[in-house]
């Protein structure tokens, strides 16, 4: 049930003592990094000043920009000969972010991933088909090392080659599937096309993350694949997957607080918000050697809760990520996140969970078009029925989100499928 009972279920008191000690060590470590040394010296802060966890809010934020400005290795706290692995995330603009790991970091990451995989019921008897991309992306190797540490059999499928994935799911008796939620949906689609159903498989659970997905999408994936679908969160700058993981209770993701300290801030002012309030997640690493990071602004929006969880883990839980501050589209002044639209589409039903948002501008007016696929039978049905459905989605979007969007029902399988992170928004506005 647990991978590391001692760490995952420790009392809050002990946890906080451990965090304090490790935070102090981290501040010592970052003083070796010119970027942090400069900032910490300018505010006159030394490792010895870390006497309470509340000091955290006096520490500087780290942003994506800091990684870019110091590309490639400027934030590293160890000499290069201690690095045993690099990963990198491409991002959409500018230089990639490069991250490095010492041998100790790789071992800690494997431990975190073993905990995460165990949350979904992975044991040494499991067959884990890992369809996260292998390579510079942290998803592939992150899951791989955790599954091997447990002693499960890993199928290092990586992304793509979907028909072959289905064949392996069936023939290898895969019990745990790991990939993005959008790829899980695509796998389900291809499985049915190949004339197979969940009864032909031994799949039990899926560990899906790397992109936002709604509760409604979870239900779709669970019913199509006949599994329990759990959410895993992480980001390259912090370690990769394995920062937080949902347990079988499915009521939030436990953040592995003996390695990371989370905070929620108001993204506009930087002010720390209390538990329960939604804002931007900020993470501090407290065990990383190669790349310790103070107060990293993730841009991901969520909230934290300390309510006891039935699973017995004592680590704080974060809600599903509702969006990213930079994923948010502002349509005529209204903030919209793709997951909100996904949720409405799936709630109205009769459409497929494949959609894309196209934003354009006519004169000074923003226009949002929601393209969503309908089923084969629906598409060949009477125009009137399609129009009615468009109308229903339109009014539901208007009442829930307060925006007037154009709904376009499109042919089945016309929206590009993704093998990794789905591209939900196409913003064609010129700013």
Q: How far is the CB of 321 from ligand DLL (least distance, A)?
A: 4
End-to-end CA distance of the chain: 51
| 323 interacts with ligand DLL by CB under 6 A | no
Residue among 236, 314, 340, 356 that touches ligand DLL (CB under 6 A): 236
Residues numbered 176-215 forming contacts with ligand DLL, rule: CB under 6 A: 209-212
Residue among 100, 146, 206, 240 that touches ligand DLL (CB under 6 A): 240
Q: How many residues are there in the chain? A: 431
| Residue number, 152 or 407, with CB nearest to ligand DLL | 152
| Residue number, 240 or 292, with CB nearest to ligand DLL | 240
| 321 interacts with ligand DLL by CB under 6 A | yes
Tell me whether strands 83-89 and 97-102 are parallel, antiparallel or unpaired: antiparallel
Q: How far is the CB of 213 from ligand DLL (least distance, A)?
A: 7
Residues numbered 211-230 forming contacts with ligand DLL, rule: CB under 6 A: 211-212
Q: How far is the CB of 125 from ligand DLL (least distance, A)?
A: 23
Q: How far is the CB of 180 from ligand DLL (least distance, A)?
A: 7
In the numeric block, the tokens 């494949």 are attached to 354
| Residue number, 77 or 117, with CB nearest to ligand DLL | 117
Q: If 0-12 CB within 10 Å is exposed, 13-18 middle and 19+ buried, where does residue 42 land?
A: exposed
Tell me whether strands 365-374 and 351-362 are parallel, antiparallel or unpaired: antiparallel
Chain residue at closest Cβ approach to ligand DLL? 209
Please identify, among the stretches 1-9, 56-64, 236-244, 403-411, the one whose residues bind ligand DLL according to the rule CB under 6 A.
236-244
Task: Write the binding mask 119 to 138 for ligand DLL: x where contact by CB under 6 A, - elsewhere.
Answer: -------------x-----x
Please identify, among the stretches 113-121, 232-240, 353-361, 406-414, the one whose residues bind ligand DLL according to the rule CB under 6 A.
232-240
Structure tokens at 8: 């995952």
Q: How far is the CB of 217 from ligand DLL (least distance, A)?
A: 11
| Residue number, 405 or 422, with CB nearest to ligand DLL | 422
Task: Write the binding mask 278 to 317 for ligand DLL: x where contact by CB under 6 A, - elsewhere.
Answer: --------------------x-x-----------------
Q: How far is the CB of 363 from ligand DLL (least distance, A)?
A: 33
| Residue number, 212 or 292, with CB nearest to ligand DLL | 212
CA distance 179 to 160: 11
| 232 interacts with ligand DLL by CB under 6 A | yes
| 89 interacts with ligand DLL by CB under 6 A | yes
Residue among 36, 67, 233, 296 that touches ligand DLL (CB under 6 A): 233
Tell me which residues touch ligand DLL (CB under 6 A).
Answer: 89, 132, 138-139, 209-212, 231-236, 240-241, 298, 300, 321, 324
């Amino acid at each position: 049930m647990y991978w590391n009972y001692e760490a995952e279920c420790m009392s809050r008191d002990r946890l906080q003592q451990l965090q304090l000690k490790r935070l102090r060590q981290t501040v010592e470590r970052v003083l070796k990094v010119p970027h942090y040394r400069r900032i910490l010296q300018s505010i006159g802060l030394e490792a010895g000043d870390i006497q309470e966890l509340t000091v955290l809010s006096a520490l500087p934020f780290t942003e994506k920009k800091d990684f870019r400005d110091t590309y490639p290795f400027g934030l590293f706290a160890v000499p290069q000969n201690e690095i045993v692995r690099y990963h990198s995330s491409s991002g959409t603009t500018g230089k990639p972010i490069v991250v490095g790991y010492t041998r100790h970091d790789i071992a800690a990451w494997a431990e975190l991933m073993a905990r995460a995989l165990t949350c979904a019921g992975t044991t040494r008897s499991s067959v884990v088909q890992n369809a996260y991309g292998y390579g510079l992306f942290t998803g592939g190797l992150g899951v791989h090392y955790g599954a091997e540490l447990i002693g499960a059999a890993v199928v290092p499928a990586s992304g793509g080659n979907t028909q072959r994935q289905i064949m392996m799911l069936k023939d290898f008796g895969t019990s745990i599937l790991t990939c993005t939620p959008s790829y899980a949906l695509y796998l389900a689609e291809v499985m049915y096309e190949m004339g197979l159903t969940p009864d032909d498989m031994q799949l039990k659970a899926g560990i899906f993350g790397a992109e936002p997905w709604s509760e409604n999408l979870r239900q779709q994936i669970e019913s199509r694949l006949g599994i329990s679908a759990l959410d895993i969160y992480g980001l390259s700058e912090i370690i990769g997957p394995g920062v937080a993981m949902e347990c079988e209770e499915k009521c939030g993701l436990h953040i592995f607080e003996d390695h990371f300290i989370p905070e929620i801030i108001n993204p506009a002012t930087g002010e720390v918000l209390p538990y329960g309030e939604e804002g931007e997640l900020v993470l501090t690493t407290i065990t990383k050697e190669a790349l310790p990071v103070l107060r990293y602004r993730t841009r991901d929006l969520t909230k934290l809760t300390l309510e006891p969880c039935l699973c017995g883990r004592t680590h704080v839980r974060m809600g599903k990520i509702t969006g990213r501050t930079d994923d948010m589209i502002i349509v005529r002044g209204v903030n919209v996140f793709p997951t909100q639209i996904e949720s409405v589409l799936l709630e109205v039903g009769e459409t497929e969970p494949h959609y894309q948002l196209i934003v354009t501008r006519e004169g000074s007016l923003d226009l949002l078009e929601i393209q969503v696929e309908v089923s084969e039978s629906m598409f060949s049905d009477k125009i009137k029925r399609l129009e009615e459905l468009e109308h229903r989605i339109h009014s539901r979007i208007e009442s829930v989100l307060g925006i007037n969007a154009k709904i376009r029902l499109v042919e089945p399988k016309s929206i590009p499928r993704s093998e990794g992170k789905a591209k939900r928004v196409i913003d064609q506005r010129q700013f």
